[in-house]
Amino acid sequence: MALSGGVDSALVAALAYEALGENAVAITFDSPLIVPEEIEDARAVAKMIGIRHQIQSLNELKVSSITLNPSDRCYHCKLHRFREAKVLAVKLGLSAVVDGTSVSDLGEHRPGLQAIKELAVISPLLDAGITKSEARQIARELKLPVADRPSNSCLATRIPYGEELTEERLARVAAAEKAIRIIIDVGILRVRDHGRLARIEVVSNDVLKLLQPHISEQVIEQLKTLGYEFVTVDLRGYRFGSFDEKSS
């Protein structure tokens, strides 16, 4: 089970452990593309569930088709990551690799779904016709601590397509988001990295929070220490994959 620590993968991991016990194993990839806090989240979730858990280092930045950050980067990343998962499954004597893809993912720009299909990765939530909101409800019923955790995505989604991914740039984004969360409590948060400019996306209800002078001044100060010269709040709020939007 590919466990990111988010609600969908945590739910599938819990159900897998309930059904299979010691024959279920969760794997979390520790890579430059992953928000560091998510590793600890996954560790905590696995411990709570009771499932065997392995954390495996993986550096996707060694793969040029990922590092060059094309618009189908997610395809190449998922292909690389799940190939590694299948290798581990064989070593452990396991018969399948599963993930947390749900029906809700089908309506979004997710090239990685093609890689999952090609590698015959099983998506139980998708096969059962379960949406993300339904997955959250089931997670609440199972009392999983991540049931209401805001959705997250890999750090590469913060960098415009066509701009090279580097460990330094990805780490800066992670540090920026962590700094903002220390200053203010917000739900979904993305710091889109435009080089000298940081464009902050939060859900509409949190935009006004960030625009409060005593908050915005702290945010600007912290992000400037990370190397950003300009800091903006996107007034349109958070949108999934805002770099996928086409200009009119």
Residue 91 in domain: yes
Claim to verify: residue 128 and residue 51 sit in the same structural domain: yes
- pLDDT class of 247 with cuts at 50, 70, 90: very low
Q: Directed axis angle between helix 132-141 and helix 7-20, to 10°?
A: 50
Number of domain units in the chain: 2
Residues 15 and 98 in one domain: yes
Are 31 and 97 part of one and the same domain? yes
Q: 137 with 170, same domain?
A: no
Provide the CATH number for the domain around residue 57. 3.40.50.620
- Interval 181-232: pLDDT, tens: 999 999 999 999 999 999 999 999 999 999 999 999 999 999 999 999 999 9
Task: Determine if the pTM surpasses 0.85.
Answer: yes
Q: What is the pLDDT of residue 73?
A: 95
Mean pLDDT of 149-163: 93
**Residues 130 and 170 reside in one and the same domain:** no
- Looking at 106, 125, 141, the residue that finishes a domain is 141
* pLDDT grade for 241, boundaries at 50, 70 and 90: low
DSSP secondary structure string for all residues of the chain: -B--SSHHHHHHHHHHHHHHGGG-EEEEEE-TTS-HHHHHHHHHHHHHHT-EEEEEE--GGGSHHHHT--TTHHHHHHHHHHHHHHHHHHHHT-S--B----GGGGGS--THHHHHHHTT-B-HHHHTT--HHHHHHHHHHTT-TTTTPPP---GGGGS-TTSPP-HHHHHHHHHHHHHHHHHS--SSEEEEEETTEEEEEE-HHHHHHHHSHHHHHHHHHHHHHTT-SEEEE-TT---TTGGGPPP-
User: Do residues 109 and 219 share a domain?
Assistant: no
Any domain includes 183: yes
What is the structure's pLDDT at 242? 67
Query: Is 151 domain-assigned?
Result: no
Residue 160 lies inside a defined structural domain of this protein: no
Which CATH number does the domain housing residue 220 bear?
Answer: 3.30.70
12 and 130 part of one domain: yes
More confident residue, 20 or 241: 20
Would residue 238 count as lying in a domain?
yes
Does residue 90 belong to any structural domain of this protein? Answer: yes
Question: Based on the domain organization, do 116 and 24 belong to the same domain?
Answer: yes
Higher pLDDT residue, 116 or 241? 116
Contacts of 179 (CB under 8 A, 6+ apart): 219, 222, 223, 226
Q: Is the pLDDT of residue 127 over 60?
A: yes
CA-based nearest residue to 135, from 9, 2, 21: 9
pLDDT on residue 248: 35
Predicted pLDDT of residue 246: 54
Domain boundary among 107, 125, 141: 141
Residues 56 and 137 placed together within one structural domain of the fold: yes
* Same structural domain, 111 and 219: no
Inside any domain, residue 161:
no
Q: Are residues 70 and 16 in the same domain?
A: yes
Would you state the pLDDT for residue 209? 94
- Residue ranges making up the domain that contains 215: 166-244
| Mean pLDDT within 75-83 | 96
- Domain check: are 135 and 230 in the same one? no
200 in any annotated domain? yes
